[in-house]
Amino acid sequence: MQTTAKWLTPTEVAQTRKNSVTVAKTMVQSAFPDWPVERTEALLDGAMTTWGYGPLITANTLVRTNDLITAAWRQRDNITGVMLLREGEGFVPLYLHRILLALKMQSPTALWIDFTPLKEADT
């Protein structure tokens, strides 16, 4: 049996993206059940923008690190955000007070989560 490849049409690409975002939002909301929907959506949107990853990869990382993000969020009045440093199969949180330092440190193994959009979503 021979299989033929088919390219997605622009409409199919848009629908696939929309479905991925919907699934990602659900994943993040499930990982942060005590957070309002607006904050979890701001977290997902901000991480996707900052990290440059798609919705499902971003959501998976946020789900895996939800305990670290939640602990850092408790310190939100004292820090600007949290840098997640990859350590083996997991992550180590680094609480930062300055965005400039975070942006200089960010790399594929150091993922920055800025709390500013999350705080704005709460207002």
φ/ψ region of 80 (left if φ > 0, alpha if ψ in -120 to 50, else beta) reads alpha
Q: How confident is the model at residue 1 (pLDDT cuts 50, 70, 90)?
A: low
Beta bridge partners of 82: 95, 113
Distance (Å, rounded) from C-alpha 74 to C-alpha 60? 22
**pLDDT of 16:** 83
Residues 3, 116: Cα–Cα separation, whole Å: 49
The answer to whether 43 and 119 have CB atoms below 8 angstroms apart is no
Report the amino acid identity of residue 93: P
User: What's the pLDDT tens digit per position in 70-89?
Assistant: 999 999 999 999 999 999 99
pLDDT tens sequence across 92-103: 999 999 988 888
Residues above pLDDT 70, as percent of the chain: 98
With beta carbons less than 8 A apart as the criterion, state whether 81 and 114 touch. Answer: yes
